[in-house]
Amino acid sequence: MEGTEPQKWLEEYISYYDKRYRAARAAYLYVKVAQIVIAAAIPVEAAIFPGSAKPAGILGAIVVILEGLQSSFQFQKYWIRYSSAYRLLVNEKHMHLVGAGLYRDLDAKELKLHLTEHVEALVNQEQTAWSEMTEAIGKSSSGATQKS
């Protein structure tokens, strides 16, 4: 992103986090809705076909698989993290556009400088948080594997 205007790469960051948070939210909600619908179908299936345990067992296994996917891929955590970063960047954009907060009473050169510094600090902070979260998830996953 070297050599580009700060507003342009701010828009690129906003677009990146917007797409990621929406995808993570959709994945999380799809998995949760599927779990609820399938779990609710288990007693219905058992009532309709009382002598057969296989369908209920298969449905139960699917619920467990979906929960395992949610646990492994952390869709909800990603949704929250991406959404938080997106909102911080959009807020930064608005503050810059209206000259509020850090951007009050600054000339054009100082506006660009402050925008660059503050957005880079936000993105670096977010990347650090991601690294820590990913590392923690990896440790908890490997700990669970080692206990087995």
Q: What angle do CA 148, 27, 140 make, to 5 degrees?
A: 25
Each domain of the chain, given as residue ranges in start order, spans 7-147
CB distance 83 to 21 below 8 Å: yes
More confident residue, 61 or 129: 61
Q: Mean per-residue pLDDT for 87-114?
A: 92
Q: What angle do CA 83, 87, 90 make, to 5 degrees?
A: 140
Q: Mean per-residue pLDDT for 94-120?
A: 91
When pLDDT is cut at 50, 70 and 90, the band that residue 56 belongs to is: very high
pLDDT tens for 127-148 read 888 888 777 777 766 665 555 4
Q: Is the pLDDT of residue 108 over 90?
A: no
Backbone angles phi, psi at 29, to 5 degrees: -65, -40
Q: Mean per-residue pLDDT for 14-38?
A: 97
